[in-house]
Chains A and B, each alone.
Chain A
Amino acid sequence: MKKSNILLLIFIAVAIGAVVATISDSSTYVTFEKAEKNPGKVYTVIGQLNRDKPMDFDARAGVFSFYAIDKEGESRKVLYFKPKPTDFERSEDITMKGFATDTAFIADDILLKCPSKYNEQNKLEE
């Protein structure tokens, strides 16, 4: 057998390893309830801002808190230890990467889906 063929086999094995590792590395989108079954484990939750509840940004403590409703309709308090993202109120969906605790969902990272972003609407004032 040629050396190059052996090499190819080794690399195919590495590639398969990469795929398996990626799949185990990739998370799934979950609900708050599922995240709470495993407190401390990092999950990605997609939800929407609960506009009936207060939100508060305490700049000195560096904490932004708000309530989010997940896809199942469950509302939870979310703490985000970073400055309040711009245009937070305008967001449609909020993707939160973080983990559950007894008192609140701690978000490490927040991604917003804004209706205006990249969505070109051709509105002419008549």
Chain B
Amino acid sequence: MKYIGEATWIGEAGRLFTSLALVSALLSALFYYLHIQKKSEYYQQTGRWMFYIHAFSIISVVALMLVMLSGHYFEYDYAWKHTSRSLENRYIFSAFWEGQEGSFILWMFWHVVLLLVFTLTNHKFETPVLLISLLVQSFLVSMILGVYPFGVKIGSSPFVLIRELPENIGLPWTQMEDYLQKLPGFMDGRGLNPLLQNWWMTIHPPTLFLGFASTVIPFAFAFGSLISREYKEWLMPALPWTYFSLGILGAGILMGGAWAYESLSFGGFWAWDPVENASLVPWLTLAAAAHLMMIARTKGTALRTSYWMIFLTYFFILYSTFLTRSGVLGDASVHSFVDLGLNGQLLALLLFFLIIPFVFFGLRYKEIPDKSEDETFYSREFWMFVGALILLVSGFQIIFSTSIPVLNKLIGPEGLVKLLSENMAPPVDAIQHYNSFQLPFAIIITLLMAVGQFFGYRQKKAGRFWKSITTSAAISLVVTVFFASFFDMWKHPLHTLFTFTSAWAFFANLDYWLRLARGKWTVSGPSVAHAGFGLMMLGTVISQANQKIISKNRTYIAENIPASENVLLEKGDTISMNPYYLVWTDVWQENYRRYYKIDFLQPDGEQLRPAFSVVPHIQINDRMGLVAEPGTKHYLHNDIYTFLSYASDVQNRNSPDGYGDEMEFMISKGDTFIVDRYFMVLDSILGNTTRDLKTGEIKTVSVEAVVRLISAVGNRYELRPKYFIDEHGVVNHLDAESEDAGIKIRFKDIDQEKNKLVFTTWKKLDDGPDFIIMKAIIFPAINLLWAGIIMMTFGIFLAVYQRNKLRKN
């Protein structure tokens, strides 16, 4: 049978290129491997051509996806699920990676781009790096294969037609050749989740995926060098790629924080959400690995540590993928993808690239040249090594706590090895839990950053060290005293100490760059990056530790439970919220967003003077319910961040639809009954039955009651509730409601013995005037955080540039 109007060529071409991508990646890896074994140029060239075919196939898959999504081919499940006709063009890319399949393709696309750049610029290590990268890539392509050999699902293809979905196979409509024209469901897609229709969401995922994809190159360098036995030569060319990875991954993670702050009502920038954690941990170990590689390059020590740190980093990258995509986190996170039933495959990917590199590492351990010279306390490398280990322990603590749902699966009561009698629940106060561990780690890290630069490479004596750090320490002390007095931070000694160490990390690195390195651009990368990190931490501690919920009530119900952290605003009323007065002045709706304008007023003598307005909004999201989005007033020195915890005009207080006071009664035609403020008269009954043409039996019954409501002043409303029995004998009701009368009626049953009809009525509950409940938080000095992030990212890319120049010389 030929279906009318289906663009099957997209799917056919898509599947063809997917298979081609898999075969070419495997062949390419094979030829590159042969090149290492046989050393013949021929193998390398063949491998390279296979890689070009692979690159072409992946780019074709991307192009076909874009054609499918932008062309509204709703016969395809992916297009139907993620786009709609009303979707703006700029969100086509967001729709592309909304689903798991698309995000895998995005990941592979970045691999291809990076590897193309690599092959065209770096000939020396092409073979080992491409070999490993294409092995990873083969696993990824298999995730979108969508084939079922021997009944086992391998991959989930984005090129599946809706009529080919397992749940639809055999349904009657799939036998209609003109289903696309006949069924209204295919006229338009379900559209993109409104949560993703946001400016940050068009740049955060691709940046983060570029960061994830880019870690394959340092991994491939390290793993490949074990295979090709070039244990030291890889460090120099791998360093710029490692820094690049660190910069992009960091930028991607922090963009997620910025998105959360701007568009989610988490109440802040970082919430220790499991998925945030899962991407932070590989960043921490990657930073550790990059520093270890520096030590290994300059001193020849720490080479073995560098190897396993990189392997661990890549394991965490894959583990993070596993956590977000396997559904194991369930409701623990806002980010989780839908479980596509690929867990076995994800686990295979994870274990393969955990076990194989470590096996090779073990086999070659003795061959790896690692100097066993001991470090003095005054060498930069010693403290870099300490810093790297602290990053590792910090990451380990985070990943362990994040893995509690995984631990339950492994050793819980229903797990593989039943060690625990009950499932572990994540820490009751997650933020407190993580902060209590991470704060001491961060203090040590920032302290090391502050003093680290001043230890010369391979220096053995104290020398000018102490003299050179006094200026920046003095400035930092002044800054700390200022902040601590201003915000009264003295009661939190650790916060005060952290303020000092982060300020010191900032000023010392600035000092080093400007005074000792005389602002030279050639050596500025690490200083600028470290100064940026210090500034970022300073912004974090000042803005987060001193955040103030200004909407908090002063009365306490019980110890530690404030009466409310929110204020209630009725429209037009002016209420006091120290130091402001608030008025809810306006409300309006655009598409699926409802905006609430709140004016903040400040007393000015006898009068109230308008200070500023915020417009928090609520997204009416048909897939996720109501989503509160913050309204923030940005000042240079602080932010006033608000969001609505409740809005009575979109949420009903006591029942889902706002109706209550249920009443059930029985009446006959012509009877009158009193319902709320109305006389209810049953005017007439309209019946309708259909019969089976062959047997003459009654198939369906539908009865409509015509009901009149008459108020005391004579207002009349007509309602027509329906009662029907379908062909399976199932009773259904079609309730009738009158918004003006505030009454809902259900035709519930027919009592044939008494010849009466049973009705249920509800009246609209009067909840009083509309009100909103708002939470308002002041984040002081949060701009230091953003400035630090920009400075750090800039510094890292400066280091990439400088390292790349060094490599070429």
- Interface residues, chain A, with chain B CB atoms under 8 Å away: 2-4, 7-8, 11, 14-15, 18-19, 21-23, 25-29, 42-44, 54-57, 59-60, 62, 81-84, 86-87, 89-90, 95, 97, 106, 108, 111, 113-114, 116-120, 122, 124-126
Contact = CB atoms under 8 A, between A and B. Distances in A.
Interface of B: 77, 81, 162, 165, 167, 173, 183-186, 301-302, 330-331, 336, 338, 372, 374-375, 382, 385-386, 389-390, 392-393, 396-397, 400-401, 404, 422-428, 433, 437, 553, 557-558, 561-566, 568, 623-626, 628, 645-646, 648, 651, 653-656, 771, 773
A111 to B, nearest CB: 7
Nearest to A89: B656
A122 B646 contact: no
B80 to A, nearest CB: 8
A31 B558 CA distance: 23
Nearest to A30: B422
A122 B401 CA distance: 35
Contact of A27 (B173, B428, B564, B566): B428
A18 B183 contact: no
A94 B183 CA distance: 38
Interface of chain B, main secondary structure = mixed
A14 B393 contact: yes
Contacts of B401: 22, 25-26
Contact of B427 (A22, A43, A56, A108): A22
Nearest to A46: B425
Contact of B561 (A95, A108, A117): A108
Given A28-B422, A59-B648, A108-B561, A11 B392 contact: yes
B651 A59 contact: no
Nearest to B327: A118
B780 to A, nearest CB: 25
Contact of A25 (B382, B396, B433): B433
A84 B656 CA distance: 12
A11 B183 CA distance: 64
Pairs A-B, 10 closest by C-beta atoms = A83-B646, A62-B564, A124-B185, A87-B625, A86-B626, A18-B397, A83-B645, A44-B425, A27-B425, A57-B653
A111 B273 CA distance: 14
Contacts of B375: 3-4
Contacts of A59: 568, 646, 648, 653, 771, 773
Nearest to B389: A11
B776 to A, nearest CB: 14
Contacts of B645: 82-83
Nearest to A43: B428
B564 A28 contact: no
Nearest to A10: B389
Contacts of A57: 653-654
B427 A122 contact: no
Contacts of B651: 84, 86
A82 B331 CA distance: 21
Nearest to B437: A18
A90 B621 CA distance: 14
Contacts of B563: 62, 81
Nearest to A45: B425
A98 to B, nearest CB: 9
Nearest to B562: A81
A28 B77 contact: no
A107 B539 CA distance: 32
Nearest to B396: A15
A55 B437 CA distance: 39
A82 B372 CA distance: 60
B400 A122 contact: no
A117 B656 contact: no
Contacts of B392: 11
B423 A29 contact: yes
